[in-house]
Structure 1
Amino acid sequence: MFKKSIIPILCSSLLLLGCDFRPAHKVIAYQEEVKLSDGSFIWVDIKRHYRLAGESFQKANYLPSIVEISWDTGFLGMVVRLVF
């Protein structure tokens, strides 16, 4: 009888606590159109990496960790990629 009553109590306590499991890393990727000094435009790809500051079940914030910037140089197979 004790085992039958403890399972619903455990399940309901997990629901009431509101377990918030979030991924440890997030990536936001987007493109920007950039005007160069000669008046031409290029597309720049930007990826921003964020890591979770704390445990995934806690109310922790994401902190920026890496920024990747890349663009096409106009030559065949030549892409510049910078990581900060």
Structure 2
Amino acid sequence: MANREDIMAKISELIGPFNNKGVALTPETTFQGDLEWDSLTVMDFVAAVEDEFDIIITMNMQADIESVGQLSDAVAKLMEN
């Protein structure tokens, strides 16, 4: 079982190709505000996260996830199930 730090590191790695502005990533980094992602970028990134961790992130969950830290917590919770 991966811990939050491992999950955060992997998510940061996955963000790399989508981080066109070179934003420094922290748990508080937001996808829309800081990274300025549009909906297509979000969908592509979610697909990459789902593939990497072998999980499904529902649309309802996505609506509640605004930051890298929230995504890390959600992935950890989904991996427990």
Larger relative contact order (Cα-Cα within 8 Å, sequence gap ≥ 6)? 2
Q: TM-score range by the shorter chain?
A: under 0.3
Of Structure 1 and Structure 2, which has the larger fraction of its residues in strand?
Answer: 1
TM-score in terms of structure 2 length = 0.22
Of Structure 1 and Structure 2, which has the larger fraction of its residues in helix?
Answer: 2
TM-score in terms of structure 1 length = 0.21
